[in-house]
Amino acid sequence: QKEVEQDPGPLSVPEGAIVSLNCTYSNSAFQYFMWYRQYSRKGPELLMYTYSSGNKEDGRFTAQVDKSSKYISLFIRDSQPSDSATYLCAMSEGGGSNYKLTFGKGTLLTVNP
Amino acid sequence: ETGVTQSPTHLIKTRGQQVTLRCSSQSGHNTVSWYQQALGQGPQFIFQYYREEENGRGNFPPRFSGLQFPNYSSELNVNALELDDSALYLCASSAGRVNFNVQQYFGPGTRLTVT
């Protein structure tokens, strides 16, 4: 079993739709949860960063973490064609030598005008 | 833009050759991590350097090595290239080792093709 599982999609939605992206994980030591956006042939760009369980909102983006279920989500409201990209979840145990990011495979999202 | 730059953008090498990839971190970021991203996969952690010393390593063989310099630049060296080394190589910089490590800022990557 991989440490982080993410449905690779592809996911295609009409402009204005609410998008839900999800990851599950098996390592209960993960404390930091991130979502990155990666456009084609570019490096990942940090979108959201959450510590432990709970919700975090930033504009049209909401990140949710449920550590009891080992499940994290990213919601995109009023999706735009410019949101078309691959979305990667990433996790870290954090602190000291537990610094590395463990990524999911990424979900390819297309928002159609 | 993250302020992290990488060179070259693209590179084609032959199996068995050696390659050096370069990264320039954000000013003030004393930690750099390197990741390998195969096509259709998420990035895989190779290793991390903190203040010019290796701070940890993923499941990559010793022919993957690195260096970090005081001027916020770093290198990834790969010896005896194999076909499976073809991937996008990403460096990511961050401001510290404890806790701040999680906020890593990625460069655009170097796409390496091994033939």
Question: Which residue of B31, B33, B42 is in closest CB contact with A88?
Answer: B42
Under 8 Å between Cβ of A111 and A81 = yes
Rounded-to-integer distance, Cα B84 and Cα A4, Å? 22
How many residue pairs bridge chain A and chain B with CB atoms within 8 Å of each other? 74
Is A108's Cβ below 8 Å from some Cβ in B? no
Under 8 Å between Cβ of A110 and A10 = yes
Under DSSP, the state recorded for B83 is G
Under 8 Å between Cβ of A15 and B78 = no
Question: What pLDDT, on a 0 to 100 scale, did the predictor assign at position A95?
Answer: 64
The reply to whether residue B42 touches residue A106, judged by beta carbons under 8 angstroms, is yes
Beta bridge pairs of residue B56: B48
Q: Which residues of A touch B97 (CB under 8 A)?
A: 96, 99
Which residue of chain B is at minimal alpha-carbon distance from A46?
B105
Percent of the residues in chain A that have a pLDDT greater than 70, as a whole number? 96
- Tokens in use for B96? 């510290």
Rounded-to-integer distance, Cα B24 and Cα A87, Å? 25
Residues B44-78 have pLDDT tens digits of: 999 999 888 988 899 999 999 999 998 889 999 99
Q: How confident is residue A2, by pLDDT bands cut at 50, 70 and 90? A: confident
Question: What pLDDT, on a 0 to 100 scale, did the predictor assign at position A59?
Answer: 96
Under 8 Å between Cβ of B31 and B93 = yes
Residues A11-55 have pLDDT tens digits of: 999 999 999 999 999 999 898 899 999 998 889 999 998 888 889
